[in-house]
Amino acid sequence: MKKILLGAALLFVSVFNKTNAQAVEKGNFVINAGIGLGGLDHAYDFNVSPQYLVSADKAIWEIGNAGVIGLGAFLGTKSYKYDNFGVKEKWSQHTIGVRGTFNFGFIPVEKLNVYAGPTIEYTITTGDGDYFFDKNLIGAGALVGARYYFTPNIGVFTELNAGGNINSLLRLGAAFKF
C-alpha cells in the first residue's frame, strides 16, 4: 500500500509540478509581502513588533546573460512599546523607500532568483511618551535577497538589509510574480 501511495504521489508531482517557473525576466513585476525581523533601533526591547512590509519590483533592463536590472518601491510599518522603571513610551515607524535590484541570470537553479541592490528609505516616526521625540530619518543602504518559486508565479523570499534606516535586518515572506 505504501508503494502505491508513493507512486501516486510521484506521478501527481511530476504531472502538476511543471519546471517552467523561471527566474525574473525583463517585464516581470514581483510583489513581496512579509515581515522583517531584527533592526538596530531599539533591538534590545522585547516589546517591538516585527516590521510588516510589502515591496514591488519591475524588471526593466536586461543585461545579456548576466541578469536583469529592476526598479521598485518598499513600504513597511513597525511599532514599539516600552513601560519600565516608570518610563512609558509608545511609537510607530512607517517607512517608504525606493530600491534597485540586479537579478542574477547565471544562477543554475531554474526556480531560484538571487538579487542584490541599493535602497533609499525615508522613515516617519510618530508616537508619545516621557522621552519621545519626532525622529524622521532618510538613509541609504543595500540588500541581498533570494526568491524560490514553487509555481511559475508564487514563491517565498528572504532578504538581508544593511545600511539605510535598518527597521529590519532579515525579511521573510511570500513572493508573487506577474
Residue 86 belongs to a domain with what CATH number?
A: 2.40.160.20
CB-count exposure of residue 157 (10 Å: 0-12, 13-18, 19+): buried
Cα-based angle 74, 76, 81 (whole degrees, multiple of 5): 160
State pTM to two decimals: 0.80
Give which of 148, 62, 139 is closest to 99, Cα–Cα: 139
* Residue 132 structural domain: 2-177
Q: State how many domains the chain has.
A: 1
Per-residue pLDDT of the chain (178 residues; tens, 9 = 90+): 445 444 444 433 333 333 333 479 999 999 999 999 887 655 555 578 899 999 999 999 999 889 999 999 999 999 888 887 888 888 888 999 999 999 999 888 989 999 999 999 999 988 887 666 667 889 999 999 999 999 999 999 999 998 776 678 899 999 999 9
